[in-house]
Structure 1
Amino acid sequence: MTALIIVLLILLGVLLLLLEFLVIPGVTLAAIGGVLMIGGGIYLAYDHYGNTIGHITVLATIIFCGISLALALKSNTWNKIMLKAEVDSKVDKLEEEKVKPGDQGICISRLAPMGKIKVNKTVVEAKSTGAYIDEKSKVEVIGIMDKVVIVKPI
């Protein structure tokens, strides 16, 4: 009966560690429980059967963990739950010919401190110099830094 308990503890411990490595991100109770179960199984093997069987149990557990991890990574099981979406969108670039420092526009949304403005019939994302600027307020472009239009209230 003790041998069955040892085997079950080690099997459940390895299963929890595989779940931790391949499914659950971070260090969670699954990893802690898996390590404790494997440790408990090895402790029971040493305690009930002596050093020889304990050493064999440790060796068998290490081999079983390695084989289980290799099979889990090699199999197509994880392809079923894997994220396969591709991001093919791109960030809209500011056409620098359309918006220049000194141009004036109007706020389409509140700038707190980021928002949308309309300058030269073009709607762009803008950043205020620090003050909140209400919707429908007139603004002036004072610069463009890293494709972000910087404005101040008029």
Structure 2
Amino acid sequence: MSIVILASLLGIGLILLLAEVLFIPGTTVVGILGLVISLAGVIYAFSIYSAETAWWITGIAAILNLAAVIYGFRSGVWDKFSLKSAIKGGTFDGRTLGLEAGMKGKAISDIKPIGKASFEDSIYEVKSESGFIPVESEITIIKVENNKIIVK
């Protein structure tokens, strides 16, 4: 009966440690619980077996737990959780190229203080310097900075 209890404690501890490394990384609760249960199995081994046998059981349990952690890190599970792409945009991505101060356009929505305007058959988001500008009004670009188009 004691061998069943010992095997159960060590087995459950190993399974929980593997679950932590392979299936639910980052929580650490399951991993710590697995280590505690494995440690309880080792303590149980020292209480019922001779010291030499208990040290053998401790060594085997430590090797299995370490092998489980190493396998978890080398199995590629972490690749599923890592970001593979990168953001390529920046503060200036060229969408306002060709626009310059003094260009005339037309408000295609109410600009209060942000709205849509058309310049040379292209639609842009603009910001009003002077507050509300009604739809269909003629507008003029005052300045273009960091993808922001300021109009009046």
TM-score scaled to structure 1, two decimals? 0.61
Aligned to 1:3: 3
How many residues matched? Answer: 145
Matches within 5 A, 1:75-154: 82=80, 91=89, 93-101=93-101, 106=107, 117-120=116-119, 121-124=121-124, 142-145=143-146, 148-149=147-148, 151=150, 154=152
Output the CA distance in 2 between the equivalents of 1:44 and 1:135: 81
Aligned to 2:57: 57
Question: Is the contact between residue 107 and residue 139 of structure 1 (CA under 8 Å) also seen in structure 2?
Answer: no
Matches within 5 A, 1:33-44: 33-44=33-44
Work out which structure has the larger RCO, using CA pairs closer than 8 Å and 6 or more positions apart in sequence. Answer: 2
In the alignment, residue 145 of structure 2 is paired with which amino acid?
I
My pick for the range that moved more, 44-53 or 115-124, is: 115-124
Q: Give CA deviations for 1:38-62 in whole Å, capped at 9, x if unaligned.
A: 1111110111113222211221012
SS at match of 1:7: helix
SS at match of 1:14: helix
Output the CA distance in 2 between the equivalents of 1:45 and 1:19: 24
Deviation at 1:22, TM superposition (A): 2.1
In the alignment, residue 144 of structure 1 is paired with which amino acid?
E
- Please list every run of 5 or more consecutive structure 1 residues that lacks an aligned counterpart in the other structure: none
Deviation at 1:110, TM superposition (A): 8.3
Q: Does residue 1:15 correspond to 2:28, yes or no?
A: no
Output the CA distance in 2 between the equivalents of 1:57 and 1:134: 81
State the structure with more CA Rg.
2
Q: Among all aligned residue pairs of Structure 1 and Structure 2, give the percentage whose two residues are the same amino acid.
A: 19
Deviation at 1:89, TM superposition (A): 9.1
TM-score scaled to structure 2, two decimals? 0.61
Relative to structure 1, is the Cα distance of residues 118 and 59 closer, same or farther in structure 2, using a 3 angstrom cutoff? farther
- Please list every run of 5 or more consecutive structure 2 residues that lacks an aligned counterpart in the other structure: none
- Segments ≥4 residues shifted beyond 6 Å: 109-112, 126-129, 132-135
SS at match of 1:99: coil
CA RMSD of aligned residues (A): 4.4
